[in-house]
Amino acid sequence: MGTLSNRFDSHFLYRQISQVRSRSPLILNLTNTVVMNITANALLAVGASPVMAHAKEELENLVSIAHGLLINVGTLDAAFLESAKLAVRCAKRSGLPIVLDPAGAGASSFRTEAVRALLTGGGVSVLRGNASEISAIVDSGVKTRGVDTSVSSLSALSAAQNLSLTYGVTVVISGEVDLVVNKEQVASIRGGHSIMSRVTGMGCTATSLVAAFSAVCDSTFDAAVCSMAIASKAGEIAKENSHGPGTFVPAFLDTLYSLDETQLQIDIEVMNAP
Amino acid sequence: MGTLSNRFDSHFLYRQISQVRSRSPLILNLTNTVVMNITANALLAVGASPVMAHAKEELENLVSIAHGLLINVGTLDAAFLESAKLAVRCAKRSGLPIVLDPAGAGASSFRTEAVRALLTGGGVSVLRGNASEISAIVDSGVKTRGVDTSVSSLSALSAAQNLSLTYGVTVVISGEVDLVVNKEQVASIRGGHSIMSRVTGMGCTATSLVAAFSAVCDSTFDAAVCSMAIASKAGEIAKENSHGPGTFVPAFLDTLYSLDETQLQIDIEVMNAP
Amino acid sequence: MGTLSNRFDSHFLYRQISQVRSRSPLILNLTNTVVMNITANALLAVGASPVMAHAKEELENLVSIAHGLLINVGTLDAAFLESAKLAVRCAKRSGLPIVLDPAGAGASSFRTEAVRALLTGGGVSVLRGNASEISAIVDSGVKTRGVDTSVSSLSALSAAQNLSLTYGVTVVISGEVDLVVNKEQVASIRGGHSIMSRVTGMGCTATSLVAAFSAVCDSTFDAAVCSMAIASKAGEIAKENSHGPGTFVPAFLDTLYSLDETQLQIDIEVMNAP
């Protein structure tokens, strides 16, 4: 793959954050009960407006005022899955960006099948998982341990390209190096800190940010790259301002809130897909 | 409106907090899954005892040992609404104070209708929302963006007075200035900090405090004024002791826990209703 | 009761933590929506891997990859109870340690009966509650106030011994002094700090730790003693590094993450059962 001239410099990234801050996109979240609070707070901190809901009776109304939809299957059950499908149908009809977090795909066939069903229904614009989740969606032989990330993101690159081609989605594989994959390009983002794997919901939080940035960026690819870059950088800074995984969380939210252009020097490479 | 002599001085406010701390009222919360943790922690920090529950099978038992009931429709669905109605019926029969947070009213007709149904059933003593939520309950033409507060509290004053007359409730409109409205009086509370709108659940937390103070104050009007005043002041102090919306939350809980009389100089005005 | 030579010295405790850190047991949590986030973060901080789930469709799959099961009835309803029973059946068949938190037992007959049904089904290895919860499981005449702890742990000793004999479980009574009870022995652990009763989910968090330690310790008794000791000590240290119940939580998680052998001098006594 050849490296492209990189448009994701600090000026570009800061312009995207400024867009989120000034336009404050409303993001409808059908998400898991573990991370609801931190993802709502992360969306608020970055400048977006979250609404968390799941009742079928109101999803059409809520989609009609939203600028993006986030689906996260982390604590799914049959009723949640029905609501998620309905929300995706409504959002697809309205042309909203739809971001899917396959939390725990591969840990049970119920989850894996749920994620496939959501993708098959169409309309999903971005899928963000770790390497084993992404791999498991393509190959049921891959087993994951809950939402753990223990495998290199590169190992899921071909699965991601497969998913991108099959479903027309941008795929994010998060890990030590985050990869953003669509049919034409692959971006790699270096950064973050290992402490983030000792805090619940950091991946889910990044996925929520993708939904917010999808509402303001020119493309879902750009939105995914910006979100992962910003989450990584905020993680690095928060690590410096905290003493462990507990104080990391408030420091991370503080950082999302106050990030400025000088802090957005991030190691991002973009290559043409092979 | 003429300003009344103001009984809400620091001495009065501190006496009410001391009552909460010494009597530790048990507050039954049927609330949303985003804010359960922070509202439970805020109730504990201020000196009350929270219990969160929603199963129909146990609501009568729990109401029988509780001193106040909090209903928050932030993540409602049909089953939650049935449980909320049952809890309100039980609490009304027992004469418990019942505080309702119409989180997101106006964002969907399902929410708006749910809030109206709960009010119509009777027994609700305090309703606490932001200006657009309160307005939407009266006028379905008002649209809100989830739980955002973007409108001045004064704009909802007549809607609040309307609700107070119709349902016999004390209405709190929260915003930059909080208004507490019943048939005879209007109190305005200045304070707080804009960072609070970048943290999820600050309004919901204030509503929970109203439930705790309702269990010890002489009137629901007093309970609402005390709670909003204390939440505002704790927010101001927490802002000084934090670096952004992330560190704000722990600082807010620390402040609720340690507030003393010298910190309770709050700008509160009380007027006769027009 | 005669005091036994105490094997729970700092070296032993640190070896158990090291086992959790190196083996990172996967703990399946069917738990309440108030404490999901803090218990997931506590498990991660101590070195374990949490997965939170409740859908019947996936519990068998998840149990098959888990090393321990945690059931917490804090926000139970009929559907949750069915899922909990199913998870316990699967885990029992696989020989997994099963830890039960009877959060709020005694506050409603629904909760008390649910806990009894779970115990009667068999397979539960450890039960952890406060004195009134443990007492209420044995004697329906005992009333509790939600999840409050207001009674001395010693008052529930005979109830705990009764439960241990009847159901073959290790019972933890938490309080100012924590007691760990099985048929042969009683351990008492002194430590912790009263601020922990002003933070939601500290008991639930300790129960989650028991599940993690049960996956690596030689016996459930050892796992219970280690977990309660470590939670108490982390609480003491966190109290020193915080300013109230809000900053206590991140400090507690930081401490769990970084505990070393020199910090594990804990006042533990072990006696033969009478």
Which tokens is B1 given?
Answer: 């409106």
Query: DSSP class of residue A94?
Result: T
Distance spanning both ends of chain C, measured CA to CA: 6
Q: Which of C37, C49, C257 sits opposite A245 (nearest CB)?
A: C257
Interchain contact, B49 vs C108, CB within 8 Å: no
A253 lies within 8 A of chain B by CB: yes
Would you tell me how many other CB atoms lie within 10 Å of the CB of residue C6? 12
CA gap C145, C132 in Å, rounded: 9
- pLDDT attached to residue B5: 57
| Average pLDDT score over chain B | 94
Distances (CA, A) of A258 to A201, A230, A238, B141, B249: 21, 12, 11, 36, 16
| Element holding B81 (H helix, E strand) | helix B78-94
Reference C62, options C36, C86, C46; nearest CA is C86
Compute the average pLDDT of residues C114-126. Answer: 98
Tokens representing residue C171 in the block: 């019972």
Question: Mean pLDDT for each consecutive 10-residue tract of chain A (274 residues)?
Answer: 71 98 98 97 98 98 98 97 98 98 96 98 97 94 61 92 97 97 96 96 97 98 98 98 98 98 96 84
Give the Cα separation of A87 and A107 in Å (integer).
24
Name the amino acid, one letter, at A131. A
In this model, does residue B1 exceed pLDDT 50? no
Q: Is B145 a residue whose pLDDT tops 70?
A: no
CB contact, 8 Å: C190 with chain B? no
Q: Say which range, B116-130, B211-225, C33-47, C132-146, has the weakest mean pLDDT.
A: C132-146
Judging contacts by C-beta atoms under 8 Å, the chain A residues touching residue C44 are 197-200, 245
Of B179, B119, B185, residue with least CA distance to B155:
B179
Report the C-alpha gap between B6 and B229 in whole angstroms: 13
C108 close to B (CB below 8 A): yes
Please give the radius of gyration of chain A, using alpha carbons only, rounded to the nearest integer. 17
Q: What is the pLDDT of residues C153-192, one digit of tens each?
A: 999 999 999 999 999 999 999 999 999 999 999 999 999 9
Residues pairing with C187 in the sheet: C180, C270
Q: Which of C39, C61, C252, C258 to mutate to test the interface with A (most CBs of A within 10 A)?
A: C61
Q: Return the domain boundaries, chain C.
A: 10-272
- Chain C's closest residue to B79, CA to CA, is C77
One-letter identity of residue A225: V
Question: Looking at chain C from residue 150 to 169, which residues have their Cβ under 8 Å from any Cβ of chain B?
Answer: none
CATH classification number, C10-272, choose in 3.40.720.10, 3.55.40.20, 3.40.640.10, 3.40.1190.20: 3.40.1190.20
pLDDT for residue B214: 98
Residue A210 CA to residue C168 CA, distance in Å, equals 50
Cβ neighbourhood burial of A271 (10 Å; 0-12, 13-18, 19+): middle
ipTM of model: 0.95
Nearest Cβ partner of B51 from C146, C199, C201? C146
The dihedral sign for the CA sequence B125, B129, B133, B138: positive
